[in-house]
């Protein structure tokens, strides 16, 4: 399947990280290797990249894409929340770190793991298949109150109660197994599209965040990443929804080890959004490691 290969905000990430030959960089969300490739290209001939990605299939694709830079990168199949401790163990400090949060086009369109409500696939949503908890476990096992809390906390879903009630009623007859079943159940109780969004958008976002513990991973990363940055080194984070962006903004503002570089989040140009509509909600924030 054809998937989009241009990394989001490529130019802005390279400029704000001040990527230079000989520099050492971390890509915490390698995905299909778009930002990794850009970092290796811009730090040629001798820059080095440490890449982290927890989805095995994405990592294999990225490895092939980066093959021509052999000897200049090391990839780990690991959660980026582990990256600071892994690199600290190797005694490393780096010049720049990028995180491009969320889903790749590969996970969304070709993984078969139920990330899209536009496809009928098993309700799985694990980005890391070594994890045991799937979306169907949450949908079929949480109580009404827990479902409402999940939809509010991770989806900011205004119809949380209505959706939770519908889930509880539906699963009395039979457990919900597929994205198609869940999406049409939500459509039957929330007909109106808000801001042109499919009624299941926020529920799918909430389940995905919970299954992958996305906010916990980001918080842990934010608290430990400054330790692996050289003084003057930079960290650039692209987020796709306000829950993530708020965490990043707060950490960059409050962490005494960091100085925010972007006063306001950078957004993709209209031209980039035209080429890659999925970039439209991307927000980039950058911070610099202060001198100790
Ligand atoms: C938006 S994509 C990155 C795309 C990449 N920048 C590129 O240009 O191809 C996000 C990727 O991060 C991975 N990911 C998300 N959270 C992660 C985590 N906590 N640890 C490791 N990888 C993670 C996802 O599996 C996905 O492949």
pLDDT, tens digit, 9 for 90 and up, residues 213-252: 999 999 999 999 999 999 999 999 999 999 999 999 999 9
Cα 6 to middle of ligand 1, angstroms: 14
Query: What is the mean predicted confidence (pLDDT) over 256-283?
Result: 95
From the candidate CATH numbers 3.40.50.720, 3.40.50.2300, 3.40.50.150, 3.30.70.100, the one assigned to the domain spanning 10-106+214-289:
3.40.50.150
Q: Indicate whether residue 233 lines ligand 1 (CB < 6 A).
A: no
Q: Indicate whether residue 7 lines ligand 1 (CB < 6 A).
A: yes
Q: Cα–Cα distances in Å, from 182 out to 114, 115, 122, 130, 146? A: 11, 12, 10, 24, 17
CB contact at 8 A, 101 and 244? yes
Query: What is the mean predicted confidence (pLDDT) over 63-73?
Result: 98
Domain ranges in the chain are: 10-106+214-289, 132-211
Q: Return the residue whose CA atom lies nearest to atom 4 of ligand 1.
A: 31
Spacing of C-alpha 231 from chain mean position: 26
Query: What is the mean predicted confidence (pLDDT) over 11-26?
Result: 98
Which atom belonging to ligand 1 lies closest to the Cα atom of 58?
27
d(CA 74, CA 72): 7
Q: Indicate whether residue 104 lines ligand 1 (CB < 6 A).
A: yes
Q: Indicate whether residue 201 lines ligand 1 (CB < 6 A).
A: no
CATH number at 132-211 = 1.10.150.170
Query: Binning pLDDT at 50, 70 and 90, where does residue 78 land?
Result: very high
């Amino acid at each position: 399947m054809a998937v989009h290969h241009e990394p989001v905000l490529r130019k802005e990430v390279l400029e704000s990280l001040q990527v230079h030959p000989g520099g050492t960089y971390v890509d915490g969300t390698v995905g299909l290797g778009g930002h990794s490739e850009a970092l290796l290209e811009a730090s040629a001939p001798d820059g080095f990249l440490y890449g982290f990605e927890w989805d095995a299939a994405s990592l294999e694709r990225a490895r092939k894409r980066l093959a021509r830079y052999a000897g200049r990168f090391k990839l780990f199949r690991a959660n980026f929340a582990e990256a600071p401790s892994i690199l600290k163990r190797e005694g490393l400090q780096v010049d720049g770190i990028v995180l491009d949060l969320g889903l790749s086009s590969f996970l969304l369109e070709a993984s078969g793991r139920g990330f899209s409500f536009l496809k009928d696939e098993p309700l799985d949503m694990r980005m890391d298949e070594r994890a045991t908890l799937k979306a169907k476990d949450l949908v079929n096992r949480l109580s009404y109150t827990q479902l409402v809390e999940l939809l509010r906390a991770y989806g900011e879903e205004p119809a949380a109660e209505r959706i939770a009630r519908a889930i509880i009623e539906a699963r009395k007859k039979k457990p919900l197994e597929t994205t198609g079943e869940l999406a049409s159940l939500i459509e039957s109780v929330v007909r109106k599209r808000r801001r042109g969004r499919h009624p299941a958008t926020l529920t799918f976002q909430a389940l995905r965040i919970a299954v992958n513990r996305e906010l916990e991973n980001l918080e842990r990363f934010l608290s430990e990443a400054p330790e692996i940055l050289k003084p003057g080194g930079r960290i650039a984070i692209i987020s796709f929804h306000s829950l993530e962006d708020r965490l990043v903004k707060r950490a960059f503002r409050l962490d005494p080890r960091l100085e925010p570089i972007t006063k306001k989040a950078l957004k993709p140009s209209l031209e980039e959004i035209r080429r890659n509509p999925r970039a439209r909600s991307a927000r980039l924030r950058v911070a610099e490691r202060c001198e100790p």
